[in-house]
Amino acid sequence: MNRKNSVFDGFIRDNAVLSGLMVISPIIVCGDTVMNAIAMIYAFSAITFISVLAGAFIPKKLSYGVKTIILAAIGAVVYIPVKFAAYDFFPSVMERTGIYFMLIAVNSLITVHAQVKFYRMPKGKMTVSLISHILGFDVVLFIISVIRELVAYGTFCGRIVDADVIISGLGMPFGGFILLGLCCGIYRSIVGAVRKNDDSAGGDSDVSDF
Amino acid sequence: MFLISELVVLLGTNLILSQALGISTLFVAAGSRKNLLWTAITISFFTTAGSFGACLVNSLLPDSLYDLRLLLYVLIIGALYVILLTVLYFADRKNFGTTRKYVHVSAFNCAVMGTLFTISDKAAADPSLDNLGSYIAAGAEAGTGFILAAFFLMAGFGRLNSKEVPAAFRGFPSMLVYLGIISMAIYALI
């Protein structure tokens, strides 16, 4: 059955992290506490949204490589005011996030996915699809950071909670690798099961259409 | 003994296994061994040549304009990107359609940009590393580390994509867990 692509696919079915494995370095390294995650969510959402929208005005005639360089440069320019605002909102987190805050400015959603997917859509659809992709990343980062902070440090937003088991390794990058791999597999199982159900339901309607 | 200690240093400073930089690129290239190897080599070019440019930027840029560093690094990598594509085009037009893909994938990613920032931060923390030789050596080391991580992934690639692995975990999810286990082993080693 042919399934029409939805502008909301970026949130679940075509999730940038779990399906596309994009922008996973900040999740693995910085996604160990909720406060880190909120700072990264803010930076990713602001930089990606503004950069991709601004990049939509780049002439289409330019070659792929030139457009990539311009998009990366736009991301690097947008990063500057976002960083200044972040120092007001999250002063204690900025040191911890380190270079990952800067690296978000050249994430693959801006440099690659924008050209391959977003700019082939009409502007309205592109904006909705972009927001759904950004939300997809934000939700995954938030969920993973909650799990990691609870299990690795026994805290939530820095406050101690009554956790029976502490696995401190989950706060390390290797813990991030393993947890993200497991989440990716679970996500695939769920999406696969949903698709199976959809296909069997769709199959009936296709037959009746004949 | 020297080789062993160098290998341990290379593993310990490996940007993929210790800092998860360039993971997405590694997985994009993981479709075939040839892609993986050529992407790793192209990334090594960008980290080595880019570190030369980063050294120049850091020595010329005043502290008051520190926030422009990202933009200038992007422009350096952009210039290298154009130069490499031009060289490949004139060197071998026949295979340019294939070779340019490696350049597109390797130019702007966390592995390259992260290397430049990591080297700069190390040089800022330790003035003895703030010279062109150290920058280029660190860039080459980061590129070699990426090649090493690519070899690790290539070693397990067949098994991680085999039918013995449950369908939901086949491929990327199992590769992430695999890299996590290697990363954990290296963490324990150091």
- On the 0-12 / 13-18 / 19+ scale of CB atoms within 10 A, A7 is middle
- Stretch B77-104: mean pLDDT, rounded? 91
Q: B166 touching A, CB under 8 A?
A: yes
Q: Which of A25, A66, A111 to mutate to test the interface with B (most CBs of B within 10 A)?
A: A25
- CA distances, B75 to each of A70, A76, A79, B14, B130 (Å): 9, 10, 15, 25, 21
Report which listed range, A14-18, B31-35, B172-176, is most confident. Answer: B172-176
Question: Could you say which of A73, A181, A189 has the minimum Cβ distance to residue B180?
Answer: A181
Query: What's the token pair of residue B103?
Result: 């350049």
Residue A5 is predicted with a pLDDT of 64
The answer to whether position B161 is within a domain reads: no
Distance from C-alpha of A161 to C-alpha of A153, rounded to nearest angstrom: 9
Confirm if A12 and A191 have CB atoms less than 8 A apart.
Answer: yes
Q: Do B173 and A79 touch (CB under 8 A)?
A: no
User: Does B80 score more than 90 pLDDT?
Assistant: yes
Each residue's pLDDT tens digit, B115-146:
899 899 889 888 888 888 999 998 888 888 88
SS3 A24: coil
B67 in reach of chain A (CB within 8 A): yes
Q: Which of B19, B77, B177 sits opposite A178 (nearest CB)?
A: B177
For chain B, give the percent of residues with pLDDT over 70. Answer: 95
CA–centroid distance for B20 within its chain: 10
State pTM to two decimals.
Answer: 0.88
Residue type, B30: A
pLDDT at residue A91, rounded to an integer:
83
Q: Which residue in A29, A75, A177 is closest to B179 by CB distance?
A: A177
Interface of B with A in 85-144 (CB under 8 A): 85, 103-104, 107-110, 113-114, 117-118, 121
Q: For residue B37, give its domain range.
A: 2-155
Q: Are A134 and A48 in contact (CB under 8 A)?
A: yes
Distances (CA, A) of A18 to A128, A189, B169: 19, 12, 12
Nearest residue in chain B measured CA to CA from A104:
B110
Put simply, whether B27 touches A (Cβ < 8 Å) is: yes
Please tell me if residue A58 touches chain B, with a CB cutoff of 8 Å.
no
In sequence order, the 6+-apart residues with CB closer than 8 A to the CB of A27 are: A17, A140, A141, A144, A176, A180
For every one of its 210 residues, what pLDDT tens digit does chain A have, with 9 covering 90 and above?
445 567 677 787 888 888 878 888 889 998 999 999 999 999 999 999 999 999 999 998 999 999 999 999 999 999 999 999 988 888 888 777 778 888 898 888 898 889 988 999 998 999 999 999 999 999 999 999 999 999 999 999 888 888 788 899 999 999 999 999 999 999 999 988 887 777 666 544 333 332
Structural domain contains residue B168: no
Confidence at residue A4, expressed as pLDDT on a 0 to 100 scale: 55
**A76 vs chain B: nearest CA distance in angstroms?**
5
Residues 142-161, chain B, touching A (beta carbon < 8 A): none
* Closest in B82, B114, B178 to A103, CB measured: B114
Query: Does the CB of A22 have a partner CB in chain B at under 8 Å?
Result: yes
How confident is residue B12, by pLDDT bands cut at 50, 70 and 90? low
Mean pLDDT of B86-107: 89
* Residue B89: per-residue pLDDT: 93
Strand partners, A159: A156
Cβ-Cβ contacts under 8 Å, A168 against chain B = none
Instruction: Give CA–CA dist A18/A167, Å, rounded.
Output: 23
Chain centre distance of CA B151:
13
Q: Mean of the per-residue pLDDT values for chain B? A: 86
Is the confidence metric ipTM above 0.90 for this complex? no
